[in-house]
Structure 1
Amino acid sequence: MINVLYIDDERHNLIAFKASFRRLFNVYVCESAEEGRQIIERETIHVILSDQRMPRMTGIEFFESIIEEFPDPIRILITGYTDISAVVDAINRGQVYKYLTKPWHEEEIRIFIEKAYEVYMLRKENRDLTGRLIDANHKLEFLARQALLS
């Protein structure tokens, strides 16, 4: 099952999101970036949706703050405002997969979460395959050196 975290300072949005998607995904919700960080520190989160305009830390700032320590979750920025500079910042600084506007449509969100999870799994598979390839290469180099020495 896909683990989804939704961060929004508007409680009614959190309630609506959880009610809409709790049967499809493991849904975690919280009202601040600080709470969001606590959740991703203890849970494996595949997709994070964050509101842009929140007190103390914007969605972009939150994404930017977790990239180094938690690079794997796919990030989706969701906002009620159409601010082109926020879109550019989201892409450049927060490495955001999608930028969505409120009010959101359930079917659209569901599709984007599922597509984001596919990206998450493809990246994981790519890392795993790359690691196996590197290991195989080291073994081949070792065998080649052994053959040359004997």
Structure 2
Amino acid sequence: MTAVMVRCQRLAHARDLPLPALATAGAAGADLRAALGEKPLVIDPGARAAVPTGFRFAVPEGYEMQVRPRSGLALRHGVTVLNTPGTVDSDFRGEVMAILVNLGTEPFTVRHGDRIAQVLLAPVLRASFAEVAELEDTGRGSGGFGSTGR
């Protein structure tokens, strides 16, 4: 598999953190870590927080970087990425943040260096939109939100 190079800039508060990296040879996503310094961040049940990662990325044109949850945090603590997947566009140059939400029952503490999310690089297909007077019928029609059964 050919890798696509994503240039990244480490910010001062991430000076001791590793670059995002795949944890295993078959991993799809690279780990993002919290860049918090010495002060931990507590996310109360039901609360959300934008957690800094300490990196800016130059996503190649024609791609997006998706910020996704870590399954272990979701299962063990009820902590997930709120706008899943979050999209980092190719023209964005700000620090990437992970918007975490605590859906669990206990406060969750994020410490500097904790793995908080993962990022995947995905190709973008550009859509163009054309208004039409009617759309063709399908078997499903306008049924949604569980209309296809369980």
TM-score band by shorter chain is under 0.3
Q: TM-score, normalised by structure 1?
A: 0.24
Which has the larger helix fraction?
A: 1
* Higher relative contact order, chain-length normalized (CA < 8 Å, sep 6+): 2
Report the TM-score when normalising by structure 2. Answer: 0.24
- Whose strand fraction is larger, Structure 1's or Structure 2's? 2
